[in-house]
Structure 1
């Protein structure tokens, strides 16, 4: 294998905090090892980095690094289209893998979205798939030749994983269950993507660097699956895998204007996702889910994985059949519109997106299939307070000790995430059990309120605003609520973008101190160009019904 320069330029408008000299030396060695795999012809010119644009989303197309065929492959196909083209021998797996490997490393130089990159391995996988198709006249499976990106902490054979800080790094000898299923169906793996320190921020900043929003690099790509979201938005990936315990799929997808799906817990396999048990899951179960640029790619991912009966190997899973977009929706479909959650009023462009969706859905021509009504989530402030305690039964101390053990700095948002729990220290068994009782009591009250409001699905904000400015993703109650009650959710793109100099309504009155702070954050930064997504949620284990509703909404909301 050729060895190239030990330095790879990456756009970083706001540097990450520095640690001890010992830590910085170790961190530098990791970044150097990454850089040595990147050939000169895939590097942006040094002149580019003297004054990079704030919106870097179009740079891969005009960089001159990709040829016209590679631009076509990465921009004009979704995963379904790629699988069909490869099966029909219109494209080869090697052509597709080459295009996405090249585009992904360009995307990394612009957004710091990757932690590891394996072009040689990907081309080898793809070549074997092409040879199989040539010899057997059929594909290995429905994902034959489709490149899939993977979040840093998820075990992928022959790669490293971590919990977003250097001391937690381990080497993975084997694939986790989900990756092994996807690989057996023909998926090609070529990179791993950045995540935050502790995996518990809504901004992705780690020892690998700070991931940037492709549409405004002064903004975050979200977290914890921010690397995935930025990469998919940059068209350096067509299908990615993330995890969500507070908004970690939905938040980044919303920040970057793509699809992100948080399943109900125990729907997709998470066996061997992490080397160590995650104490937050004593009360708040995490979920896995896909990122994509089309609704039918979410369907492809779910159909492929669940068709392999992963519950036969992962006893934590509930073996529910998947009908997805073919699920027959109720008529009329009762849709609750969330203007705000009674706790934090969303920032101006989010309110415009909600108004846009309401106008579309309320068109009289849809009255025979839709019933639109107002919806107010039950006690969002209480939910936010409870989940912030429940995330950290350890008070955050073990992770903090692990981070600082080799001189790595504790990032501001790490301190923020365990701020409410830290004073309580490490909880005893009965204290954790009491939190479980509080969680269940809230769930009972929540479902009673949902029943009284009589809706099938709800549509509302995915976040308090568009993508947050760096180091300011403090408030994520719009997503975390649905982790507390364990309801599925998909964030969907809208045509709305944040505009320069947008202002709050003249009659605005804060709903809480947190609401007032969110307004101050809006006024302190420039969010121009940031995309706006909306979140669609259904009841617990009504994932099929959620997708049945999305099938109805697809044409009404012009969903790709």
Structure 2
């Protein structure tokens, strides 16, 4: 079996389950060549920060380091089209770096380098023969989250029993393939795809910058891989923070659009009961603002609504969207429910200071902003995630002898006492949701802002198995507002303390402080989040373009 770094064991299932799981891991990674494997002493005694190991381990050539480290998706596509690099060279470089990253942080579920190179050879032949590319993503490697259908690969709903071999692409994968993208791996996600730690039957994903911390979830494998430069562009999903949370934990860019903006056909074999009242979004995770814009522009230009009529046919202007100036920006210092941990407060202070520079006086109007009743939103969304009382999820996991992981138990236990809701119960929950949405919109209007900037999480990446409070992301799923997380220069420091005058806003707030004091978060990156109103996705990107210089966005 391919050795990987482990810092904390995951729960054990029945002997039969563990035997099947071991066979799965062996079959998934048995083809990894010996010369792509890290030395045993690196696996046994890894540094706390493993993010630089792929660069220094000696497995990648200088050209492969250049390809994987010096480009975002936009510049990589241009370099391939200009024949600076072949598609084969690029696929080889990213496949090699991905498997190195996996040995350090357990970010992959499947790795298919041979198939990627075969696809890349066809693209190189096409370019040489025709003198033009297949499409704007010709030869660009894209990593895909485990549960999304991709022909010839396995997908699952985050449990061993839900695994299935797929014979066709999801709409998203098919569209990206038609644009010239190359696929070389699928990435790890949590059990049941419903919490902010990517632990499941493929293992536990670690944070590259501090392996004692979570890489986030549910798109945690993607975030870890991209931050390790084993991917230039990935696709995630978000129903409570599953794009934004892991992107923030790993210090990359991530975008959750308004729901039904991008295609999601072929994402899951069975419908998810949570979507009766909280809709999932899908979006890009990447290295730059312009990569997010490229992804949105290309996907929406493919007119996905012609195949899936649920999708709203929004035109994309993105970074070129017209924005009224001065841009009215609300700053969220806390949500009135949980005070962020110290490095997040430093990041908020940094953003305020940057935006308050007198040279931007004509561009921005800075205000304080407090979201409407964040505590109530958290209470409501946690209940309506599981209108089945969690029984369908939990019973499905247990059916193969797989253990229930601690965070799976934590997210389902609130709904368990209510059991399976009736249709009228679900209907009444929807009315509560819509009443809250209207009150939230009125409150936003009263505070008179165009966009808001605030925390992406209560802290930096959390310690393993402690991702309890995703209030700063799930709020925006509940109201269905788009959101982008973006890196800041702030990193968590060892021995950082809360302010002396700190007073908890709630019992949950008190618990968050206790979690901070119980762990070492040194080196963890800090992202912030920017949000706009529902269907104002273009305005959100227009605002980011205006903010680009002030916030040092790439």
Counterpart CA distance in 2 for 1:252 and 1:499 is: 20
Counterpart CA distance in 1 for 2:126 and 2:109 is: 30
Residue number in structure 2 paired with 1:439: 433
Give the number of aligned pairs: 554
State the Cα distance separating 1:50 from its structure 2 match: 2.3
Counterpart CA distance in 2 for 1:417 and 1:173 is: 32
User: Does 2:49 align with 1:55?
Assistant: yes
Residue number in structure 1 paired with 2:277: 283
SS class of match (2:472): helix
Residue number in structure 2 paired with 1:426: 420
Counterpart CA distance in 1 for 2:545 and 2:42 is: 43
State the Cα distance separating 1:369 from its structure 2 match: 1.0
Q: Given the two structures, how large is their TM-score scaled by the length of structure 1?
A: 0.99
Counterpart CA distance in 2 for 1:500 and 1:111 is: 22
Residue number in structure 2 paired with 1:373: 367
- Return the match for 2:125 from 121, 128, 131: 131
Counterpart CA distance in 1 for 2:392 and 2:347 is: 41
Counterpart CA distance in 1 for 2:30 and 2:52 is: 26
Q: CA deviation digits over 1:115-157, x for unaligned, max 9?
A: 0000000000000000000011000111000000000000011
2:215–2:223 CA contact under 8 A, matched in 1: yes
2:494–2:521 CA contact under 8 A, matched in 1: yes
User: Does 2:480 align with 1:486?
Assistant: yes
User: Does 2:344 align with 1:341?
Assistant: no
Counterpart CA distance in 1 for 2:286 and 2:27 is: 29
User: Does 2:234 align with 1:248?
Assistant: no
Counterpart CA distance in 1 for 2:150 and 2:352 is: 42
Q: CA deviation digits over 1:434-458, x for unaligned, max 9?
A: 0000000000000000000000000
State the Cα distance separating 1:34 from its structure 2 match: 1.7
Residue number in structure 1 paired with 2:82: 88
Counterpart CA distance in 2 for 1:175 and 1:519 is: 44
Equivalent residues in 2 for 1:368-517 (5 A)? 368-517=362-511
Residue number in structure 2 paired with 1:316: 310
- Return the match for 1:220 from 208, 211, 214: 214
Counterpart CA distance in 2 for 1:386 and 1:393 is: 12
Counterpart CA distance in 2 for 1:537 and 1:356 is: 18
Counterpart CA distance in 2 for 1:50 and 1:365 is: 51
Counterpart CA distance in 1 for 2:75 and 2:307 is: 30
Counterpart CA distance in 2 for 1:288 and 1:130 is: 30
Residue number in structure 2 paired with 1:25: 19
Residue number in structure 1 paired with 2:520: 526
Q: Structure 2, unaligned stretches of length 5 or more?
A: none
Q: CA deviation digits over 1:150-170, x for unaligned, max 9?
A: 000000111000011100101
Residue number in structure 2 paired with 1:352: 346
Equivalent residues in 2 for 1:91-170 (5 A)? 91-170=85-164
User: Does 2:195 align with 1:201?
Assistant: yes
SS class of match (2:119): helix
2:319–2:544 CA contact under 8 A, matched in 1: yes
* CA RMSD after TM alignment: 0.5
State the Cα distance separating 1:418 from its structure 2 match: 1.3
Residue number in structure 1 paired with 2:542: 548
4+ residue stretches of structure 1 with deviation over 4 A? none
Counterpart CA distance in 2 for 1:245 and 1:36 is: 34
Residue number in structure 2 paired with 1:274: 268
Residue number in structure 1 paired with 2:322: 328
Q: CA deviation digits over 1:318-340, x for unaligned, max 9?
A: 00100000001110100000000
SS class of match (1:426): coil
Q: CA deviation digits over 1:178-217, x for unaligned, max 9?
A: 1100000000000000000000011100010000000000
Q: CA deviation digits over 1:268-296, x for unaligned, max 9?
A: 00011110000000000000000001111
Residue number in structure 1 paired with 2:253: 259
Q: Structure 1, unaligned stretches of length 5 or more?
A: 1-6
Q: CA deviation digits over 1:61-91, x for unaligned, max 9?
A: 0011000000000000110111000111111
Residue number in structure 2 paired with 1:3: none
Q: Given the two structures, how large is their TM-score scaled by the length of structure 2?
A: 1.00
